[in-house]
Amino acid sequence: MFRRLHRKYALVLGALSAVLLVIALKLGAHWLGWEILSLNPLLSGIVAADVFLMGFLLTGVLTDYKESERLPGEIAASLEVFFDEASSLCDRTKDPAAMELLGSVEALARSIHAWFYKKERTNALLDRISGLNRFFVALEPLTQVGYILRLKQEQQALRRVIIRIHSIRETTFVSAGYLIAEWTTAVVALALVLSKIGPFFESMFIVGVIIFLLSYLILLIRDLENPFGYYDEHSTADVSLKPLEATIARMTSRLGAAGPEGAKKS
């Protein structure tokens, strides 16, 4: 439970850490008489520019994030098609290849789930998807051409989604933009620390609020950039894998109901 709460409030705790650091530096600068800057109206312009830049970055990562939300569901749908078609063919023909395909699809689904946690390599997973071709060849004499064509279309769709997810989680969105946003926030924090703002305790509150908002935005953008960070214990904004997990549970249940042969193939 503590770990769950830590993940939920990780961004808030990270932003508060930055606030405490800046507040400590502000206190030190005040006691040592290092507040050498006057409160300049241009400072608000720098803050506004920083917020505008982070708004641009947030818009970019949200586009990928919204797309990413539906990808686990698309994977689950493709796997369901494979399993349902193999199940119907197995019921109709009782062919060993169809029965083996049932277990292979369930094993593929588990491999995809492990891949999300980086327990499976992308190349190995793509090889597993390509490995379904041997079942298509074996089943081709038993059914219509359209049946195999439909399975191969789902295979291609599944491969496309896997490659897209790999691209999203391995690619950094505008790294130069992150750099300038972080440096601008650091400059703003330094300017607030060295500026003489009165009354002092009111200024401490205002400085804390500004740093909290800017720090939280940076951490949020960094977290949203990879919606598939299940392998990272500090990631808090991952998209849900419930559609895939529900599909795996249904496959396992149906294989178990199929009897010893189905359980053995799984």
> What is the band of 132 on the pLDDT scale with cuts at 50, 70, 90?
very high
Q: CA 251, CA 10: separation in Å to the nearest integer?
A: 35
Q: CA 127, CA 115: separation in Å to the nearest integer?
A: 13
Nearest to 158 by CA among 78, 71, 56: 78
Q: What are phi and psi of 201, to 5 degrees?
A: -70, -30
Burial of 207 (0-12, 13-18, 19+ CB in 10 A): buried
- The interaxial angle of helices 10-32 and 200-225, nearest 10 deg, is 150
Query: Out of 60-69, 89-98, 123-132, which region has the weakest mean confidence (pLDDT)?
Result: 89-98
Torsion sign over Cα 137, 141, 142, 146 = positive
Residue 1 has pLDDT above 50, yes or no: no
pLDDT, average across residues 27-39:
87
According to the model, what pLDDT value does residue 263 have?
Answer: 42
Q: What is the mean pLDDT of the chain?
A: 86
Total number of domains in the chain: 1
> What is the band of 43 on the pLDDT scale with cuts at 50, 70, 90?
confident
pLDDT, average across residues 87-110:
88
What is the number of helices (H) and of strands (E) in the chain? 11, 2
Q: Which tens digits make up the pLDDT trace of 215-263?
A: 999 988 888 888 998 888 777 888 999 999 999 999 999 887 765 444 4
Range of the domain at 94: 2-265
As a whole-number percent, the residues of the chain with pLDDT over 90 amount to 42
Q: CA 257, CA 266: separation in Å to the nearest integer?
A: 12
- The interaxial angle of helices 42-93 and 175-194, nearest 10 deg, is 140
